[in-house]
């Protein structure tokens, strides 16, 4: 029971321990609570760096595995393990949480204690989702993480928070219940095939079901994750949830929670049901492309900045899904990287919008204009994040989008041609927003004496900016971590593709796994 | 040859950007100017050093590379951060750093007293970095990084005075129009990559691609060529994506000179020259390039005839001259295109900076109708402006003559008679509009405002010295590329140094020989056109003192208005693309589809549930005896079912 | 044979007392009729071999519960407040009729005629001794739980009635 | 007497009690009917106990009696409370359970 053997459990439950201890801090002592939770989350981040140090990017299997019987009667295990995909998402979670806590310092003005503690609970849930290898454990974390988010939106949200929180909750529950049914079906299907019952994901990968069954199971999983991602047309909860959620909630929602959907596709839905996945592949890709264009077009017309960023998420996550559906190493690498990128840049955008909201208590575009003059630092940071979001080369967004588009071009040029328009539209709506908020003359009296970012706010933004530049300039370490995860994903899903009719997914000019040039 | 100092060409402007951008405000304007200028100067010095190194190498093997690190690796795709210098690169580097440095110096004077002085120089340095990256990169993806980087700087610098709405709009327009082009560029890149990948060589490196290009079918190459050219039309302001460049004049004048005349807009030409190995195998694509170039040259020149804003005239002139360059590369005369690129960088930068000097002298006035008679008040500016005007008109002996003539000769020689004719007519128009500008600005009676007239002054040394240097370059710059025809007259063998220097870089198209007499006649013809243009301008604006604007407006109102309004292209784009898209997004996608259909479905199901509950709750009478009864009926029913079945 | 006759008579009387308890307009009559029914039940228990239960029946039902009911009725004069007696709803009556029919049919269809065992061999079948033995041996936990429920009932009743200090 | 008749007897008694619960307005009489229902069940238990020759039925009766006692105590306490606050013991006036 050493530190290294149980490192994942430690990372998962450390925030929860923090919650237990933090519960003893009196409610009135607000700064103590803030500092305490911040320190807990920072310690958590440092501990999670341990994973990076000991992560072996050349190994193909799961690492840091833990396995204990949990409910032996039903063969439910407490089984953890991560690969490159989970590692990056866990790091993203532990990286964003302290920033979110620090960013909420002055934003939250009621029930501070509960707010900060709920965030730690949320962190436990999120990391648990990314680390569990047992389907029931996964499901438990998946549902558990809904509760803190529901409460964060519902208690600290905007005027229509109840509507948004309920919408968020019901949408997600609807999907996950279908998933639960599918999980249980899988359990019995595996049992009837092999005689042993298990929820172990790694064993279930080897289960081969007939097409007709796979279709239904895949549909259940895919719908659940599609809502979470969200894939068009299941996206309408997102703008509402984002607009009403407090800044911290939005950041985590966009930064991490949406990734659970894409993670689900990559970890569960696609590899578990390869035949069905291949049958659904073109449809999902088309939905992703519709999402890219549609999200961008709708974002273009939003009068509310936060709603705009929310719709841009729909567009960006369309890219991720497209990357996953293109099924070649470049696109999948790009998709995973784009998950991280989106977490960083959209998270940062939400934080920045939150800072603006804190000053002006409005998010209407028409209320702003000419702010670059009064808030130069803010304007600069916003510009960098905007550029990252529209995929300017040299910043993180480009690497992901480039790989995704390149890979999807290999898979089917039409995908890339259509999805590529999203790149243009992305520039249109982001620059339009930037211009409306920051450029022009100050027309609104209220904007004349806005104070620029405080030191604390700058500290919140700097780590994100560093990551944005780092991934843009030197993405290799990240790609190395991702590499084996995406390769095994392709291996699980691909073989059936070959049988199912190459022509559909492999146009004549596409590569047959080309050699590397020395 | 691997040479590690190449990377320092990039690093210094980047450092200048970081220092000026992060702490520039606290350093004071003087320090900011020094930092920015010395960063560019060091790069320039390094380039000169490498140029000398390059010259010392054998002509066939002039290639210097510098691999910094592996940037992206995914599967079989590896993209290195690798820099490369060959003769083509070094020409671009010299132009970019040389002209760039002069413009940096000029900016010290021009931007003097601006509130955002440090921001300006930070952007300029960032631009230098991106442009150098574009030029130096050894693979097409890295080139795209620079490509987008210069687009970003262009956006930031056009919108430099962001408080002006027109500037902000122009910046956005530039970026988005460029993005449309980049979309084509990216698709071309993808197609190229997948074509190579299907042959088992997934590469985007210029050298490797050049070595294996023959594996790929010409049809694909043609598509790739056209797609890449779409990118070039965006960046280099060709039809139909030229619309952003005239608006880009909202930026500070040094920016117009550096980015929108000398360097960035020529990136498209450079790209096609760099990809010559591909275009040579895709003659149809080259044909498209040449046709678009020729049409743009004529088209922009006609608009330039009637513009009244001094910088806009120059902007349309730039578009027109870029058209020439595309004609040059389009007919396969890559070195001629690059040669014109270089001379154009000299004289167009000079024209812009001169215009900046005029504007500076007139406290910001840009309308030529409110100028006139400035010749004696700002003599230095007048002199250099005249030199540049003569150069661009193609008056023999100046740089523009040599480069333009070699392009036209190549066009004619390769059988593109129509394109040659377009260029030929454009030569006349060019001479006319540029001398119209000269005459309206510097000659005739003064039409200045009272207020402006009092303050007319020559620019300080820091501005005029770069002007003079550029003027010298505009005059003599052509002599490195003297056509062999003229060289023979004075017994100078290999007079076309430039072409010979670049020759190893370019794949050659099938040679078209043409008789000496034809070439001579062509040359005489274009000289005649240039002189004719100057003469017309003199006749119209000085001799007869016609008010051609009014005249034209009366006699040919339709044509005049069409030209003045730039063929209504902006309006057409607005009406057929932008408005419908916005309308559809807002009114259909968002308000109907999103809110009504999707949310309607979701909320509708919630409402159905709620409606059903309000009806069903009537069952809940609150009367416990009814509950008892119902409960018992339920129990009994279950019991009855089990017993009676 | 005699016991059988007694059983029939008791059964008939039971039905009558039950009916009267349910129908009676005055709660006092109703309560008293219930008392009669409890006595009859206790007699039935004796006939069915449960003497201990018969005793308990009388003690608890008659001695405690009936008294309690009467006490409440008297104390609050509840017999005077009641106005209407029965809520006649044809549907209700019909449903109960239906229930009855279903129950009876169900029972007859389930089994044939079941005879009571005649010779009764176990000595002191329902005696206090046997009951106590069973209760303490096999039913200890339910027994304790029942005592607990009683305790809760006591507390509950007291707290309900108790006047709050604040009010 | 057959076991069957005893069962029928208890059924009949039970349903009579039930009718009382469901149809009387006076809350006291409703409670009385409830007790009568319990009693009917007790009769069934005891006869079953005799029929099956075990004491288990009788055990249950003891439990039922205990529960009935507790229940009556609380129910009557409630009646007292309701009477004090509402001043009524008519069951159709107590419809606060609605919705």
Contacts of C115 in chain D (CB under 8 A): 2-3
Q: How far apart are CA B240 and CA B572, in angstroms?
A: 12
Q: How far apart are CA B130 and CA B137, in angstroms?
A: 10
Name the least confident of A256-270, C16-30, C65-79.
C65-79
Residue of higher predicted confidence among A401 and B365: A401
pLDDT tens figures, D37-57: 999 999 989 988 888 888 888
pLDDT at residue A506 in the model: 40
CB proximity C1 to B under 8 Å: no
Q: How close does chain A come to B285, measured CA to CA in Å?
A: 20
Q: How far apart are CA A312 and CA A297, in angstroms?
A: 9
* Confidence check: pLDDT of A465 > 50: yes
**Subunit contact C100:D59, Cβ cutoff 8 A:** no
Q: Which tokens is B407 given?
A: 């392009």
Residue A453 · residue A371 · CB < 8 Å: no
Instruction: Write out B519-583 in H/E/C secondary structure.
Output: HHHHHHHHHHHHHHHHHHHHHHHHHCCCCHHHHHHHHCHHHHHHHHCHHHHHHHHHHHHHHHHHH
Nearest CB partner across the interface for B617, out of D91, D95, D99: D99
Residue in D with minimal Cα distance to B614: D99
* Confidence check: pLDDT of A246 > 70: yes
Contacts of B598 in chain A (CB under 8 A): 233, 235-236
List the subunits that have 3+ CB pairs under 8 angstroms with D.
Answer: B, C
Interface test with D, best of C1, C14, C47, C49 (most D CBs within 10 A): C14
Domain shared by C4 and C80, yes or no: yes
Q: Which of B121, B125, B120, B129 is nearest to B160 (CA)?
A: B120
Q: How close does chain B come to C108, measured CA to CA in Å?
A: 10
Q: Which tokens is A429 given?
A: 């709506």
* Confidence check: pLDDT of A424 > 70: yes
pLDDT range class, residue A340, cuts 50, 70, 90? very high
Q: What is the mean pLDDT of residues B296-307?
A: 86
- Strand A63-71, strand B77-85: pairing: unpaired
pLDDT at residue B556 in the model: 67
Q: How far apart are CA D41 and CA D37, in angstroms?
A: 6
Angle (CA) B287-B290-B293 rounded to 5° is 145
Q: Which of B382, B362, B346, B383 is nearest to B309 (CA)?
A: B362
CA Rg, chain D, in Å? 16
**Subunit contact D95:B621, Cβ cutoff 8 A:** yes
Q: What is the percent of chain B with per-residue pLDDT over 70, rounded to a whole number?
A: 96
Domain shared by C93 and C151, yes or no: no
pLDDT at residue A322 in the model: 92
Q: What is the DSSP string of chain D?
A: --HHHHHHHHHHHHHHHHHHHHHB-BHHHHHHHHHHHHHHHHHHHHHHHHHHT-SHHHHHHHHHHHHHHHHHHHHHHHHHHHHHHH---BGGG--TT--
CA Rg, chain B, in Å? 31
Task: Classify B595 as helix, strand or coil.
Answer: helix
Contacts of A441 in chain B (CB under 8 A): 163, 165
- Structural domain boundaries enclosing C99: 89-115
pLDDT at residue A498 in the model: 46
Please give the CATH topology (third level) of the domain spanning D3-93.
Helix Hairpins (1.10.287)
**Subunit contact B624:D92, Cβ cutoff 8 A:** no
Overall number of domains in chain C: 3
Q: How far apart are CA A347 and CA A258, in angstroms?
A: 11
When the pLDDT of each residue in chain B is averaged and rounded to a whole number, the result is 83
pLDDT at residue D38 in the model: 92
- Which contacts of B511-517 are long-range, i.e. CB under 8 A and separated by 24 or more positions? B512/B413, B512/B414, B512/B415, B513/B413, B514/B409, B514/B412, B514/B413, B516/B485
| A54 Cβ contact partners less than 8 Å away, ≥ 6 residues apart | A4, A7, A64
**Distances B550 to B366, B431, B557 between C-alpha atoms, Å:** 20, 21, 9
Q: What is the mean pLDDT of residues A281-303?
A: 88
Q: SS3 helix, strand, coil % of chain B, rounded to 5?
A: 75, 5, 20
Contacts of C131 in chain D (CB under 8 A): 55, 58-59, 62
CB proximity D32 to C under 8 Å: yes
* Confidence check: pLDDT of D17 > 50: yes
Nearest CB partner across the interface for B75, out of A329, A373, A439: A329
* Confidence check: pLDDT of B549 > 70: no
Nearest CB partner across the interface for D2, out of C72, C113, C146: C113
Domain shared by C15 and C74, yes or no: yes
Q: Which tokens is C48 given?
A: 């069915």
pLDDT at residue C42 in the model: 92
Task: Classify A82 as helix, strand or coil.
Answer: strand
Domain shared by C69 and C98, yes or no: no
Q: How close does chain A come to B165, measured CA to CA in Å?
A: 5
**Distances C81 to A253, B227, C75, D10 between C-alpha atoms, Å:** 63, 96, 12, 32
Domain shared by C108 and C126, yes or no: no
Q: What is the mean pLDDT of residues C37-60?
A: 90
Q: How far apart are CA A32 and CA A510, in angstroms?
A: 59
Residue of higher predicted confidence among B162 and B569: B162
* Confidence check: pLDDT of A517 > 50: no
Q: What is the mean pLDDT of residues B196-207?
A: 84
Residue B148 · residue A388 · CB < 8 Å: no
Domain shared by C108 and C129, yes or no: no
pLDDT tens figures, A1-51: 577 788 888 899 999 999 999 888 888 888 888 899 999 999 999 998 888
Name the least confident of A149-153, B373-377, B612-616, D1-5.
D1-5
Task: Classify B78 as helix, strand or coil.
Answer: strand
Q: Is the ipTM of this complex over 0.85?
A: no
Q: Which tokens is A417 given?
A: 């041609």
Domain shared by C126 and C108, yes or no: no
Residue indicated by tokens 């003497």: C51
Q: What pTM does this model have? A: 0.80
Element (H, E) at B85: strand B77-85
**Subunit contact D91:B617, Cβ cutoff 8 A:** no
When the pLDDT of each residue in chain A is averaged and rounded to a whole number, the result is 85
pLDDT at residue D92 in the model: 63
Q: How far apart are CA B590 and CA B584, in angstroms?
A: 8
pLDDT range class, residue A335, cuts 50, 70, 90? very high
Contacts of C86 in chain D (CB under 8 A): 23-25
Q: What is the mean pLDDT of residues B557-566?
A: 71
Q: What is the mean pLDDT of residues B37-44?
A: 90
Q: Which tokens is C141 given?
A: 């936990």
Residue of higher predicted confidence among B578 and B468: B468
CA Rg, chain A, in Å? 22
pLDDT range class, residue A466, cuts 50, 70, 90? very high
Residue A297 · residue B581 · CB < 8 Å: yes
Interface test with C, best of D73, D80, D84, D91 (most C CBs within 10 A): D73
Domain limits, chain D: 3-93
pLDDT tens figures, B503-541: 888 877 666 667 777 778 888 888 888 888 888 888 777
DSSP E strand stretches across A39-134: 63-71, 76-82
* Confidence check: pLDDT of B197 > 70: yes
Interface test with D, best of B610, B613, B622, B629 (most D CBs within 10 A): B622
Q: Which tokens is C49 given?
A: 């071999």
Q: Which tokens is C99 given?
A: 């229930």
Residue B5 · residue B50 · CB < 8 Å: yes
Q: How far apart are CA A113 and CA A19, in angstroms?
A: 10
Task: Classify A77 as helix, strand or coil.
Answer: strand
Q: How many helices (H) and strands (E) does chain B have?
A: 29, 2
pLDDT tens figures, B274-283: 888 888 888 8
List, as ranges, residues 327-366 from A with C-beta within 8 Å of B: 328-330, 333-334
The strand pairing partners of B84, in sequence order, are: B65
pLDDT range class, residue B583, cuts 50, 70, 90? confident
- Cβ density class A216-242: b for 16+ within 10 Å, e for less: bbbbbbbbbbbbbbbbbbbbbbbbbbb
List the subunits that have 3+ CB pairs under 8 angstroms with A.
Answer: B
**Subunit contact C104:D11, Cβ cutoff 8 A:** yes
Domain shared by C5 and C49, yes or no: yes
**Subunit contact D96:B629, Cβ cutoff 8 A:** no
Residue in B with minimal Cα distance to D15: B632
Residue C110 neighbours by CB distance under 10 Å: 10
Residue B227 · residue B102 · CB < 8 Å: no
Q: Please measure the distance between the N-terminal and C-terminal CA atoms of chain C and give it in whole angstroms.
A: 64
Q: What is the DSSP string of A205-250?
A: TT----HHHHHHHHHHHHHHHHHHTTPTTS-THHHHHHHHS-HHHH
Task: Classify B291 as helix, strand or coil.
Answer: helix
pLDDT tens figures, B426-463: 888 888 888 888 888 888 777 777 776 777 777 788 88
Q: How close does chain C come to B641, measured CA to CA in Å?
A: 10
Q: How far apart are CA A87 and CA B523, in angstroms?
A: 69
When the pLDDT of each residue in chain D is averaged and rounded to a whole number, the result is 82
pLDDT tens figures, A310-330: 989 989 999 999 999 888 888
Q: How far apart are CA C162 and CA C164, in angstroms?
A: 6
pLDDT range class, residue A213, cuts 50, 70, 90? confident
- Give the B:D interface size as CB pairs under 8 Å: 29
Q: Residues in chain D, how many?
A: 99
């Amino acid at each position: 029971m050493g530190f290294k053997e149980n490192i994942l459990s430690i990372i998962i439950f450390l925030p929860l321990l923090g919650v237990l201890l933090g519960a003893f801090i009196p409610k009135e002592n607000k700064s103590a609570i803030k500092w305490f939770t911040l320190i807990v989350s920072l310690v958590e981040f440092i501990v999670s760096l341990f994973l990076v140090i000991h992560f072996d990017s050349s190994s193909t299997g799961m690492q840091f595995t833990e396995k204990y019987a949990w409910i032996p009667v039903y063969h439910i295990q407490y089984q953890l393990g991560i690969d490159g995909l989970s590692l990056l998402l866990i790091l993203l979670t532990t990286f964003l949480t302290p920033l979110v806590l620090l960013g909420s310092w002055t934003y939250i003005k009621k029930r501070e204690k509960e707010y900060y503690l709920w965030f730690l609970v949320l962190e436990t849930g999120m990391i648990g989702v990314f680390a569990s290898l047992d389907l029931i454990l996964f499901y438990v974390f998946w549902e558990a993480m809904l509760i803190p988010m529901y409460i964060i939106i519902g208690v600290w949200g905007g005027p229509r928070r109840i509507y948004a929180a309920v919408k968020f909750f019901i949408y997600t529950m609807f999907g996950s219940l279908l998933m639960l049914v599918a999980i249980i079906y899988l359990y019995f299907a595996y049992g009837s095939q092999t005689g042993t019952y298990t929820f172990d994901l790694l064993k279930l990968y080897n289960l081969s079901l007939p097409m007709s069954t796979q279709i239904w199971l895949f549909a259940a999983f895919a719908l659940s994750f599609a809502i979470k991602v969200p894939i068009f047309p299941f996206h309408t909860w997102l703008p509402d949830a984002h607009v009403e959620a407090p800044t911290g909630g939005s950041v985590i929602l966009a930064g991490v929670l949406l990734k659970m959907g894409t993670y689900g596709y990559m970890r569960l839905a696609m590899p578990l049901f390869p035949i069905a996945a291949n049958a659904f592949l073109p449809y999902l890709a088309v939905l992703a492309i519709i999402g890219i264009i549609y999200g961008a077009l709708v974002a273009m017309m939003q009068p509310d900045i936060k709603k705009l960023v929310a719709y841009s998420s729909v567009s960006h996550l369309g890219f991720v899904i497209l990357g996953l559906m293109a099924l070649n190493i470049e696109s999948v690498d790009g998709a995973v990287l784009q998950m991280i990128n989106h977490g960083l840049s959209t998270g940062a955008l939400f934080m920045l919008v939150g800072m603006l909201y804190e000053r002006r208590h409005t998010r209407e575009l028409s209320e702003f204009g000419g702010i670059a003059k009064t808030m130069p630092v803010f304007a600069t940071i916003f510009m960098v994040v905007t550029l990252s979001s529209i995929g300017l080369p040299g910043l993180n967004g480009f690497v992901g989008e480039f790989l995704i588009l390149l890979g999807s071009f290999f898979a089917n040029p039409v995908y890339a041609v259509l999805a590529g328009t999203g790149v243009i539209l992305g520039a249109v709506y982001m620059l339009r927003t930037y211009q409306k908020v920051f450029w022009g003359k100050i027309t609104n009296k209220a904007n004349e004496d806005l104070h620029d970012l405080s030191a604390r706010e700058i500290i919140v933004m700097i780590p994100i900016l560093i990551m944005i530049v780092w991934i843009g300039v030197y993405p290799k370490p990240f790609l190395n971590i991702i590499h084996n995860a995406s390769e095994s994903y392709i291996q699980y899903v691909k073989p059936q593709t070959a049988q199912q009719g190459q022509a559909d997914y492999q146009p004549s000019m596409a590569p047959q796994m080309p050699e590397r040039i020395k | 040859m691997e040479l590690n100092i190449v990377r320092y060409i990039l690093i210094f402007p980047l450092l200048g950007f970081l220092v000026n951008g992060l702490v520039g405000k606290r350093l004071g304007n003087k320090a900011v100017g020094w930092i920015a200028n010395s960063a560019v100067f060091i790069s320039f010095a390094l380039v000169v050093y490498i140029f000398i190194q390059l010259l010392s190498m054998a002509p066939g093997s002039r290639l210097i590379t510098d691999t910094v690190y592996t940037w992206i690796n995914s599967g079989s795709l590896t993209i290195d951060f690798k820099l490369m210098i060959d003769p083509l690169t070094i020409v671009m580097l010299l132009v970019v750093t040389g002209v760039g440095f002069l413009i940096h110096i000029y900016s010290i004077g021009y931007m003097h007293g601006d509130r955002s002085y440090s921001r300006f120089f930070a952007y300029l340095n960032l631009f230098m970095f991106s442009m150098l990256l574009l030029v130096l990169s050894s693979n097409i993806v890295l080139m795209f990084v620079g490509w987008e980087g210069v687009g970003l700087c262009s956006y930031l610098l056009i919108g430099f005075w962001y408080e002006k709405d027109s500037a902000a709009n122009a910046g956005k327009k530039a970026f988005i129009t460029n993005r449309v082009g980049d979309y084509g560029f990216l698709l071309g890149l993808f197609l190229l990559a997948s074509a190579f990948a299907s042959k088992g060589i997934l590469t985007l490196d210029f050298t490797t691609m050049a070595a294996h290009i023959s594996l790929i079918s010409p049809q694909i190459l043609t598509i790739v060529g056209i797609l890449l050219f779409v990118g070039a039309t965006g960046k280099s302001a060709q039809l139909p994506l030229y619309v952003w460049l005239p608006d880009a004049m909202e930026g500070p004048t040094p920016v117009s000179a550096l980015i929108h005349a000398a360097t960035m807009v020529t990136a498209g030409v450079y790209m096609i020259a760099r990809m010559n190995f591909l275009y040579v195998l895709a003659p149809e694509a080259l044909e498209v390039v040449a046709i678009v170039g020729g049409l743009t040259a004529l088209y922009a020149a006609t608009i330039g005839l009637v513009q009244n804003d001094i910088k806009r005239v120059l902007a349309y002139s730039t578009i027109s001259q870029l058209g020439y360059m595309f004609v040059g590369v389009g007919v396969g005369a890559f070195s001629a295109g690059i040669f014109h690129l270089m001379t154009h960088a000299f004289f167009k930068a000079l024209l812009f900076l001169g215009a900046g000097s005029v504007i500076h002298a007139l406290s910001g006035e840009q309308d030529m109708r409110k100028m006139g008679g400035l010749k004696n008040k700002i003599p230095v500016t007048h002199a250099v402006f005249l030199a540049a005007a003569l150069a661009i008109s193609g008056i023999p002996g100046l740089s523009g003559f040599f480069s333009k003539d070699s392009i036209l000769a190549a066009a004619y020689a390769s059988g593109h008679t129509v394109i040659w004719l377009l260029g030929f007519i454009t030569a006349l128009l060019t001479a006319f509009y540029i001398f119209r500008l000269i005459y309206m600005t510097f000659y005739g009676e003064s039409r200045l405002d009272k207020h402006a007239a009092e303050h007319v002054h020559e620019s300080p040394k820091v501005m005029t010295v770069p002007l003079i240097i550029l003027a010298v370059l505009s005059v003599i710059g052509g002599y490195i590329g003297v056509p062999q025809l003229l060289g023979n007259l004075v017994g100078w063998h290999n007079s076309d140094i430039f072409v010979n220097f670049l020759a190893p870089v370019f794949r050659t198209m099938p040679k078209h020989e043409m008789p000496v007499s034809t070439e001579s006649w062509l040359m005489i013809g274009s000289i005649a056109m240039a002189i004719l243009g100057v003469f017309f301008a003199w006749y119209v604006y000085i001799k007869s003192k016609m008010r051609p604007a009014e005249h034209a407006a009366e006699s040919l109102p339709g044509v005049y208005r069409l030209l003045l309004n730039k063929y209504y292209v902006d309006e057409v784009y607005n009406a057929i693309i932008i408005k419908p898209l916005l309308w559809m997004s807002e009114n259909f996608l968002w308000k109907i589809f999103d809110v009504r259909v999707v949310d309607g479905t979701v909320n509708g199901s919630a409402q159905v549930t709620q409606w059903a509950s309000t009806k069903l709750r009537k069952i809940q009478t609150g009367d416990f005896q009814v509950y008892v009864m119902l409960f018992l009926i339920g129990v009994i029913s279950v019991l009855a079912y089990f017993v009676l079945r | 044979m005699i016991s059988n006759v007694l059983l029939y008579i008791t059964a008939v009387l039971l039905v009558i007392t039950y009916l009267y308890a349910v129908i009676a307009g005055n709660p006092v009559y109703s309560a008293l009729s219930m008392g009669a029914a409890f006595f009859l039940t206790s007699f039935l228990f004796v006939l069915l071999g449960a003497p201990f239960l018969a005793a308990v029946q009388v003690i608890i039902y008659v001695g405690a519960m009936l008294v309690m009911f009467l006490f409440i009725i008297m104390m609050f004069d509840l017999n005077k407040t009641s106005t209407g007696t029965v809520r006649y709803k044809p549907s209700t009556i019909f449903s109960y009729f239906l229930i009855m029919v279903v129950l009876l049919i169900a029972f007859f269809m389930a089994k044939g005629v079941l005879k009571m065992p005649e010779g009764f061999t176990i000595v002191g079948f329902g005696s206090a001794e046997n009951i106590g033995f069973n209760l303490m041996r096999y039913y200890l936990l339910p027994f304790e739980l029942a005592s607990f429920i009683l305790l809760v009932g006591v507390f509950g009743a007291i707290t309900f009635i108790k006047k709050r200090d604040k009010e | 007497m057959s076991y069957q008749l005893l069962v029928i007897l208890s059924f009949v008694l039970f349903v009579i009690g039930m009718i009382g619960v469901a149809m009387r307005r006076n809350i006291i009489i409703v409670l009385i009917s409830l007790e009568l229902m319990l009693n009917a069940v007790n009769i069934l238990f005891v006869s079953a106990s005799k029929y099956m020759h075990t004491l288990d039925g009788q055990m249950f009766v003891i439990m039922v009696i205990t529960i009935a006692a507790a229940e009556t105590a609380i129910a009557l306490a409630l009646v007292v409370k309701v009477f004090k606050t509402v001043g009524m013991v008519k069951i159709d006036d107590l419809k606060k359970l609605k919705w």
